[in-house]
Amino acid sequence: MIDHLSTYAADYLKTKGFYEAAFSPLGYSKQAEFVADWDVDFPTRRACSFGKEGKSIFWVIESKKDLVGRHVAFSAKTRKGVDAFYNEAIKNGGTDNGPPGLRPQYHKDYYGAFVIDPDGNDVEAVCHLPD
């Protein structure tokens, strides 16, 4: 059901260091780190992920201090499932935060859609399979 989760950090380096240390005894390590230069509102935003080898499960994303809420991504079996999730979420009070489509900055088959729920949380459906 859950594909991955994110938390937002006003002090990115401190929060990243906290999770690096806390996850180490559990066998989780840093899987990815990059600058989200495609984010026109925050082109220097840093992000990193943690998990077991090859699978990013928990993300730390740098934020501006006024950002609230969390991010959760739900697994979809197909890209059509992602599309249907997005359409139903929008019809039922969600706000667009990124329409269905490929997100090759994550990997070549990453197909996701993002909505803001009525409480301000970023919710996503994602399919990792090719069309």
Where are the domains positioned within the chain?
A: 1-63, 68-131
pLDDT of residue 10: 83
The span from the CA of 102 to the CA of 126, in Å, is 10
The span from the CA of 117 to the CA of 86, in Å, is 11
The span from the CA of 122 to the CA of 29, in Å, is 24
- The pTM (predicted TM-score) of the whole model is 0.74
Instruction: Name the band, by pLDDT with cuts 50, 70 and 90, for residue 64.
Output: confident
| Same fold yes or no, 1-63 and 68-131 | yes
Which stretches within 2-123 are classed as H helix? 12-23, 79-91
- Examine the pLDDT at 67 and tell me if it is beyond 80: no
Beta bridge pairs of residue 8: 61
Angular region, 79: left φ>0, alpha ψ -120 to 50, beta rest: alpha
Domain 68-131 carries which CATH code? 3.10.180.10
Are the CB atoms for 47 and 4 separated by under 8 Å? Answer: no
pLDDT of residue 50: 94
Instruction: Name the band, by pLDDT with cuts 50, 70 and 90, for residue 94.
Output: confident
Report the topology of domain 1-63: 2,3-Dihydroxybiphenyl 1,2-Dioxygenase; domain 1 (3.10.180)
Q: Which residues contact 109 (CB under 8 A, 6 or more apart)?
A: 102, 127, 128, 129, 130
Q: Is 55 helix (H, G, I), strand (E, B) or coil?
A: coil
